[in-house]
Amino acid sequence: MSQDTTRALRDLTDLTAFGPRFHGEQGIHDAADWLVGRLETAGLDVRRQPVSLPAWRPGAENTLLVTTPIERSMPVWPMLWSGGSDGTVTGRLRPLGPQGIWGDSITWQRFVVEDDAGAVVAFVHARDVGPAAPQPLPHGSDLSVPHLVVGRLDGLQLREWSTTERDVTVVLHCDASAGVDAAVADNLVVDITGTGTGTGTGTGTGAGTVLLCAHYDTFYNTVGAYDNGSGTVALLELAERWAAAPPERSVRLVWFTAEEWHLGGSRHHVDTATAEDLAAIDHVVNVDGLGRGSMLETFASPEEFGVEVDRTVTAYARDTGRVLETVNRFPPTTGTDDASFHRAGVPTVFMTFNDLHRLHQPDDLPNEGIAENIVWAQGLVERFVGLAPPRRPGAPGIL
C-alpha cells in the first residue's frame, strides 16, 4: 500500500473502533470528539451544531419465521421508527405492491401481515437488491406496528409463495420502540478561507464558498466503514491538508449527523441558514460512500452542471490512469444530504463508489479497497471545488 492509503486505512480503522455511530448514541458522540480533536490539533476552529430528533431504538430481538407453506427463518432488521410487537405475533402474509424508499430513489416490495380478525399486525419490506438492510420508514407509515425488512431473495420467495399457496403464515417478534428522551448529536462545521478571490481551476468569476459534506452517522447495526466512514475520513484528511495550505476557493466542511434519519442533520443545517447563507454557497459537494471497486456514480443539478461534473470525472480518471465505470444521474437522488440543499435551490453534486452488498451491514468493515478510493476521491473533490459557479436552479417544483 502507498503511504496515503495506509494513512486512510488507519484513520478509517480508528473511526470505526467507536462502534455503530447511530444518531444520539454513545458511538457518534465519541466519533464527534475524535473528529473535533483531530481538526483542532490541525489548527482549525470547529463549530458544533446540535441536532435533536425524536429518539428510537431497534431493540434486541427481531425475528421472522415462516411456518406455512414450509418452516423457514428469515434474517430481518427493523426499519427506523418501526413500532414493536409487544411479544410474539402470528398472522397471514400477503403482498401489497411496490414501495418507494427515500422518496422514489429506490423501490422495494411490501407485504402486510394480518391476524385472524383481519387486523394489521405488521408490515414486511423486501429490499430490491442484496441482503436485508434497514432504512428509515417513509412519511405516513403506521408507526404503531412492526416494520421488518428482508433481503431480495427472501422477498422473492415470499412473493412466490403468496401467489401460489393458499396461506403464508408467519410468526414474528420486534423489540423496536420509540425512546423516552430526544436523540441528540452534533453537526460539525469548519470554515477555511481561500487564498484567492476567484474560483480556483474553474472558469467563473464568483468568489463564493463551496460546501463539502459527508455524514458521519451510521445505522444501528454497523460500524459503517463504507457508509460513511469513508467520506468522513476523506473530508477529515482534506481539512488537515488545507489547514496548512488553504485552497484558492473558500470552503465550508460539514460532517452531518442523522443522515440516516431522513437527512435530519443537513435539513437542520439548511433550515437554520439565512437566505444570505445559502446564496453564498456556489455549490455543494457531498461525499457519501467510497466503497470498493471502480463504479463511480455522480448525481448533480442543474443538468448542465452534471455535464461539467462528468467531464471533470473523465479528465481526472485519465490524468490518474484510472479505469472507471461511471454513472451520471439526473435529477439527484433524495436519499443523501445534498438533497437538503437541492430542495433549497442550491447547486449540488453527490459522488459515491456504491457498495450495495455492504450497505447497512455488520460486515461493512475497513479494507484496503475503501482506503484506496478515499485517497483517489480526495483529488476529485479538489477538482470539484474548483468548478465555476453553476446557475441557481431555483427550488424545484413538485415534479
309-325, pLDDT tens digit by residue? 999 999 999 999 999 99
Residue at grid coordinates 478515499: 374
Q: Would you state the pLDDT for residue 204?
A: 36
Q: Would you state the pLDDT for residue 27?
A: 98
- Residue type, position 10, single letter: R
Give, rounded to a whole angstrom, the gap between the first and last alpha carbons of the chain.
47
Sort 63 into a burial class: Cβ within 10 Å, 0-12 / 13-18 / 19+: middle
Residues 6+ apart with CB under 8 A from 33: none
Which stretch of DSSP H or E encloses residue 347?
none
Position 197 confidence tier, pLDDT thresholds 50, 70, 90: low
Q: pLDDT by residue (tens digit) across 7-52?
A: 999 999 999 999 999 999 999 999 999 999 999 999 999 999 999 9
> 216 pLDDT exceeds 70?
yes
CA 302 to chain centroid, in Å, comes to: 21
Cα gap 229→175, rounded to integer Å = 28
For the entire predicted model, the pTM comes to 0.95
Cα gap 313→290, rounded to integer Å = 15
- Residue type, position 85, single letter: S
Q: Would you state the pLDDT for residue 75?
A: 98
Q: Would you state the pLDDT for residue 399?
A: 53
Write down the H helix ranges in the chain: 3-16, 26-41, 152-164, 230-244, 264-271, 275-279, 303-320, 338-343, 368-385
**pLDDT average, residue stretch 304-308:** 97
Q: Would you state the pLDDT for residue 179?
A: 84
Cα gap 353→289, rounded to integer Å = 6
Specify the range with the lowest mean pLDDT, choosing from 24-28, 176-180, 187-191, 197-201.
197-201
Following DSSP, what letter does each residue of 84-134 receive, concatenated? P-SSEEEEEEEEEEEEEETTTTEEEEEEEEE-TTS-EEEEEEE-SSSS---
C-alpha cell at position 321: 490512469
Q: pLDDT by residue (tens digit) across 125-172?
A: 999 999 999 999 999 999 999 999 999 999 999 999 998 877 999 999
C-alpha cell at position 275: 437566505
Q: Would you state the pLDDT for residue 214?
A: 98
